[in-house]
Structure 1
Amino acid sequence: MLQLNMDSSTCVAGIFHNIQFDKNERRLIEEKFDKTILMLLDESAVISKLTVKCKTQQQADSVRKMIFALVNDIRTIIVKLADKLDRMRNLKTIDDEKQRKTAYEAINIWAPIANRLGISSVKDELEDLSLKFSNPDVFAHIKKIVSLKKKERDDYINKAVAQIEAEAKKADIEVVVKGRAKHFYSIYQKMRKRNKTADELFDLLAIRILCSTTVQCYTLVGLIHNLWKPLDGKFKDYIANPKNNGYQSLHTAVDCNGKPLEIQIRTFDMHETAENGVASHWIYKKGVTKDTVSASNLAVINKMKTLAKAATEDTTEDVLREFFAAIKAELLGNSVFVFTPRGDVVELPAGACAIDFAYAIHSAIGEKITGAKADGQIIALGTALKNTQTIEILTSPSARPTLKQLNLVKTTKARAKIRAYLNEHDPTYAASLKTEEASVLEQHIFAHHNHPQKSIVQKQFEDKALNTQRTMTAKIRIGDTSNFLFSLAGCCSPQFGDDVIGYISRGRGIIVHKENCRNVWRIPNIEERFVQIEWDTT
């Protein structure tokens, strides 16, 4: 944490983490230091108790978001990153099974968190150590290949560095040029992507050039391309288009003496951001200036800059909370993350209630729900759930879905399941739907024969016909992605604007049904093939 330039409270919390203190010891810590340390320790303890289950990418993503939801100070996450890195460095002392479990957690949870905060130095080491303990044979093979012909590669890099320094001197640009070996996990990813062994990869080394200004970065990339022929499609401008975590740099690859050579060009400030990420913008760091980072189109980094300036004059708890709230709002979006009693993480849309939670666990639980507890306290079934609550569902064999529950739920799955049940088992609900349809038809016929002007009912029928026409050219959307191949179910004939659900067919893309279509839930393995969709209105 000292290497990340963290403040004293974070460093002290790092030393004390995972230690249980009694009441007197906690009072002593507050007197000797400050209450911020106790807060960081308490939040760190909450994360330590989190049950990590990430068999799928979706589960891993939910756990990462839950970690952000659990804490109110970003320094807690920095403490936990340091803790996980320390554990990974000392895994040799535990048995093989625990080694693999810890390594799996590091690569799926903590390395992505470090990457999201832009702390590449921690991310890279976590990835390499994870590979070492999860796949030791591959790690040893890559290590052997990298160490072979070391002198030959050093000569090759030194010659390239000398040529770059000479060209920079001619252009009157002061630079720091360093050759570096790619970290092992990066090589492993390239092996998998290209289906090659480590000894078949030629681009195992790279060069990094550091300079003072953005203008010099672009001047240097021009000089590099004059020195060696650039490889097609390898130039990437992350200065004009920074990554989500604030990373900025120019990337290029050239044919240097018959071998591919990757080159990164960035300013010293950009390098600080790339290595230490969010920590490089920490509000306690001395010398915060307007030149700390220039990722002007990155909302979170801009928020950090604004709050950092404010904090140089007033480092209040309100400023700290607002600082982290910007990151949490961006990462969590319109979702809430709650626990099952076993510690599993469940992601639900904001405003979801216990009934939504029950159906997310299993449809049979949703159908039998009679009550719910949040953190041990009874809550109304329609109460909106809050982040980090532990939800317990109370059931009864005699309970059944009701129309009132249908009006409370927010998730597509819960609505579809309740509607399907009511259609099949509740005669009054099915009769009410038929009565409503007959009433609309009767009004339409009456208006057609007795009123020359268009009635409201006529307009509804015309709008429905127009929607049918729109459906022929409509698109569906899953998350932020559209242009999926899909077909409309013939049993319920969904139209543009209807509440719909979908399932993945075998060869016909996504089949779209109305939410209240009872047939969809009779499809074999529907739980595994079900996808939440909506009409694309863009």
Structure 2
Amino acid sequence: MYEELTNRFVQKAFRYTKAEQERIREAAEFACEAHGSQKRQSGEPYIIHPYAVAEILISIRMDVDTVIAGILHDTLEDTSTTYETLVEKFGKTVADLVEGETKISALKAKNKSQQEAETIRKMFFAMSEDVRVIIIKLADKLHNMRTLKHLSPMRAREIANECLDIFAPLADRLGMSWLKGELEDQSLKILKPETFQYIEEYLLSKKSERTAYLGRIEKILYRACGEQGMANVEVNSRTKHTYGVYMKMKKRKKELEEIGDILGVRIICDTVNECYTLLGLVHKLWPPIEGRFKDYIAMPKANNYQSLHTTVMALDGRLLEVQIRTREMHATAEYGVAAHWVYKSETGIGEGTWMQQDSAQFTRILHKLKSWSNEIEQSESFLEDIKGELLKDTIYVFTPQGHIVELPANATALDFAYHIHTEVGNRTTGAKADGSIIPLSQPLKNTQVIEILTSPNAHPTINWLRLAQTTNARKKIRSWLNKNDDSLIIDKNIIAKKKMEPASQEPAEPVVPVTEGEIVRSVLDQSRLTFRVGEEKNMMISLAQCCNPRRGDDIIGYVSRGRGIIVHRKNCHNLKNMTEIEERSIEVEWETATPRLTRRFRVVSRITLDLFAEIEGAIRKYRGHLIEGRLDDGEQDRLIGSFTMEVANEEDFKKVVKSIKAIPSIVSISSL
């Protein structure tokens, strides 16, 4: 059955040895017989799908066991084939790969959120054992995305959203950028068909112009490289893929015609030294754009991606992104972790060997995968953490000893502290970045040197759960709180109750310096009494028991290490007996009365990543409080938002509305 189809498929494996081609043919014939007359929803023979998955694996030059597992990936789930049969006919490695992929695909759950959570958990555990399981799964997902037109619109949108949320970021995390790009494009095509078509048609209409322009750029670069004696350099031009252009429009709030840097060239050379020489050459040809240079060679991405990135003002005043990398870096950039198995043949066909890349490099990647899988809990509650942490950009900071620490973007000093050690995190009282005190709420930045200040008397508080961004840190904070505070009920990040810690009259450790202008604001008791001390909101505050200050009293803050700020009456007799009172005192005041007027409103806005923060800022500007807010996608690339807030009076509400109207992206605002 399907002999001609099988012959055409096997011919695509021409780079493999004769013996390997025979194994591939044997697997293909076995799959044909196993799937028999099964059909896809399109009405096509089912065998077309496993062949297509295997062809994707062949195109990225995976090892023969992975290709065979791709052919057989649905046999355990959809046919009567057993694991033992696969072991007997194709070996334990192939059988394990097929079984691993099947465990992910066969998940059934009570609801969509639980299913997503379990899928991610299974994938990370599978990756920690053999990352090839996920490479097969990604190939399977890619072919399914290419054929979504045969599904109902609702089901197609569900799959497309899943791809954008999980599989495309996962492909990026594994360094498989080309696969990530196609998954994103296919998802955009389903979710926003009009936008996708608009961008595609625009790019197509400008194709001949781009080709001519990039041809001029390539000639200039080849000539300049030749003059430097770098004859082995390879220059390739490229245009950003459709989803990449869409995200630039969305992020910058610009029309398609206004996006200037969708063109790029990639320069591939032999050595790292040549990379930096080429960087200087490019900057000599065209002026670089300030703030647009990134050195991923010195500081590789989490997926081991290495390259120099720069944006220059090139011919005709057009922005041009330039990437410079070695050939080995290029292989890693193209294939990611799959590069460990990339087939290398001198003749291009038949005989060859499988590349053994830098084993230390590959070991680092596997170690990272194992650490991810170890952090994942078997519950729904970690789903958003995984989406927001493991599948997003990373930053690199340094310990005072010069060791590199990799953290997700937006990580705070608490995340850094718990990454170093649980006890360092539990005893944190403050942090320094490049020698300056920073709030524990402040996101860390690339290349900062982070120092954690600790005290044996310090311990986690409920507020830390809001400050920490990583699953690891939150898990350890919750663990400490559950063990050490009986009045806490912590379940799925919901905090039911907080017990007030008694204030200490005298700090046991030297004071933590607080820089001028910092503000500390904290809820002290059930009556919502608050203090204001500058701009920061996240330092620990407690009332001194010796003088028991009440609202309206003249008060002063005493900065301690381990207990945060202790608030005393200014006439408290104990202040006179405290050490270094002048250095440790800080001005505090009672917060004004809480707002009482509740108002709801609706906004329509152009797409912007900062809308929520800008609206919240406008409300805070007039001492209001945002109770709840929601943003949804509207038509024609618009955001629809509904918000509820509290303000002191109607006059302040009008001021807030006026301030929101002044936000550049706002189209309209109306009361609800």
TM-score by length of 2: 0.49
The alpha-carbon distance between structure 1 residues 464 and 246, as it changes in their structure 2 partners (threshold 3 A), is: farther
1:244 partner SS: coil
Partner of 2:332: 273
Hey, what's the Cα distance between the residues in 1 that align with 2:95 and 2:226? 53
Paired residues for 1:333-348 under 5 Å: 335-339=375-379
Matched, 1:3 2:59: yes
Hey, what's the Cα distance between the residues in 2 that align with 1:346 and 1:338? 13
Paired residues for 1:378-397 under 5 Å: none
Hey, what's the Cα distance between the residues in 1 that align with 2:334 and 2:593? 46
Partner of 1:263: 322
**Structure 2 residue identity aligned to 1:485:** K
Q: CA RMSD in A?
A: 4.5
**Greater relative contact order (Cα 8 A, min sep 6): structure 1 or 2?**
1
1:229 partner SS: coil
Partner of 2:135: 78
Partner of 2:507: 466
**Structure 2 residue identity aligned to 1:207:** V
Partner of 1:180: 238
CA drift at 1:49: 3.3
**Structure 1 residue identity aligned to 2:191:** S
1:411 partner SS: helix
1:206 partner SS: strand
**Structure 2 residue identity aligned to 1:143:** E
Given that residues 175 and 305 in structure 2 are in contact (C-alpha distance below 8 angstroms), is that contact kept between their aligned partners in structure 1? yes
The alpha-carbon distance between structure 1 residues 196 and 489, as it changes in their structure 2 partners (threshold 3 A), is: same
Matched, 1:329 2:381: no
**Structure 1 residue identity aligned to 2:537:** L
Matched, 1:247 2:298: no
Paired residues for 1:89-488 under 5 Å: 89-173=146-230, 174-256=232-314, 257-282=316-341, 292=357, 302-304=360-362, 326-332=367-373, 335-339=375-379, 411=479, 414=482, 418-419=486-487, 465-467=506-508, 470=511, 473=514, 485-488=537-540
Partner of 1:67: 123
CA drift at 1:228: 1.4
The alpha-carbon distance between structure 1 residues 243 and 158, as it changes in their structure 2 partners (threshold 3 A), is: same
CA drift at 1:201: 1.0
1:208 partner SS: strand
CA drift at 1:139: 0.9
Hey, what's the Cα distance between the residues in 2 that align with 1:199 and 1:150? 14
2:330 partner SS: helix
The alpha-carbon distance between structure 1 residues 187 and 79, as it changes in their structure 2 partners (threshold 3 A), is: same
Hey, what's the Cα distance between the residues in 2 that align with 1:262 and 1:176? 16
Hey, what's the Cα distance between the residues in 1 that align with 2:385 and 2:220? 55
CA drift at 1:3: 2.3
The alpha-carbon distance between structure 1 residues 55 and 263, as it changes in their structure 2 partners (threshold 3 A), is: farther
**Structure 1 residue identity aligned to 2:65:** S
Given that residues 54 and 108 in structure 1 are in contact (C-alpha distance below 8 angstroms), is that contact kept between their aligned partners in structure 2? no
CA drift at 1:168: 0.8
**Structure 2 residue identity aligned to 1:6:** M
Q: Which moves more between the two structures, 466-475 or 323-332?
A: 466-475
Hey, what's the Cα distance between the residues in 1 that align with 2:60 and 2:278? 29
The alpha-carbon distance between structure 1 residues 484 and 337, as it changes in their structure 2 partners (threshold 3 A), is: farther
Given that residues 202 and 260 in structure 1 are in contact (C-alpha distance below 8 angstroms), is that contact kept between their aligned partners in structure 2? yes
CA drift at 1:94: 0.8
Paired residues for 1:49-60 under 5 Å: 49-50=106-107
**Structure 1 residue identity aligned to 2:265:** I
1:262 partner SS: strand
Hey, what's the Cα distance between the residues in 1 that align with 2:212 and 2:343? 43
2:506 partner SS: helix
Cα offsets for 1:366-399 (capped at 9, x unmatched): xxxxxxxxxxxxxxxxxxxxxxxxxxxxxxxxxx
Given that residues 66 and 345 in structure 1 are in contact (C-alpha distance below 8 angstroms), is that contact kept between their aligned partners in structure 2? no
CA drift at 1:108: 0.8
CA drift at 1:99: 1.1
The alpha-carbon distance between structure 1 residues 302 and 260, as it changes in their structure 2 partners (threshold 3 A), is: same
CA drift at 1:289: 7.0
Hey, what's the Cα distance between the residues in 1 that align with 2:508 and 2:189? 57
**Structure 1 residue identity aligned to 2:241:** H
Matched, 1:15 2:71: yes
Hey, what's the Cα distance between the residues in 1 that align with 2:118 and 2:305? 24
**Structure 2 residue identity aligned to 1:263:** V
Hey, what's the Cα distance between the residues in 2 that align with 1:266 and 1:82? 26
CA drift at 1:275: 0.6
The alpha-carbon distance between structure 1 residues 236 and 60, as it changes in their structure 2 partners (threshold 3 A), is: farther
The alpha-carbon distance between structure 1 residues 34 and 133, as it changes in their structure 2 partners (threshold 3 A), is: same
Uncovered stretches (5+) of structure 1, i.e. residues with no partner: 294-300, 308-322, 351-408, 422-432, 438-460, 477-482, 500-504, 509-523, 529-538
Given that residues 176 and 336 in structure 2 are in contact (C-alpha distance below 8 angstroms), is that contact kept between their aligned partners in structure 1? yes
CA drift at 1:328: 2.6
**Structure 1 residue identity aligned to 2:330:** H
**Structure 2 residue identity aligned to 1:69:** F
Hey, what's the Cα distance between the residues in 1 that align with 2:384 and 2:261? 40
2:68 partner SS: helix
CA drift at 1:16: 1.4
Hey, what's the Cα distance between the residues in 2 that align with 1:186 and 1:83? 23
**Structure 1 residue identity aligned to 2:255:** T
Q: Count how many residue pairs are aligned between Structure 1 and Structure 2.
A: 380
The alpha-carbon distance between structure 1 residues 168 and 344, as it changes in their structure 2 partners (threshold 3 A), is: closer
**Structure 1 residue identity aligned to 2:242:** F
CA drift at 1:4: 2.4
Hey, what's the Cα distance between the residues in 1 that align with 2:264 and 2:113? 34
CA drift at 1:61: 8.6
CA drift at 1:31: 2.0
1:251 partner SS: strand
**Structure 1 residue identity aligned to 2:479:** T
Hey, what's the Cα distance between the residues in 2 that align with 1:191 and 1:338? 38
**Structure 2 residue identity aligned to 1:266:** R
CA drift at 1:172: 1.5
Cα offsets for 1:276-324 (capped at 9, x unmatched): 000102398775778x45xxxxxxx7252xx6xxxxxxxxxxxxxxx88
TM-score by length of 1: 0.60
CA drift at 1:525: 8.8
The alpha-carbon distance between structure 1 residues 264 and 472, as it changes in their structure 2 partners (threshold 3 A), is: closer
Given that residues 211 and 267 in structure 1 are in contact (C-alpha distance below 8 angstroms), is that contact kept between their aligned partners in structure 2? yes
Give the structure with the higher percent helix.
1
1:338 partner SS: coil
Partner of 1:518: none
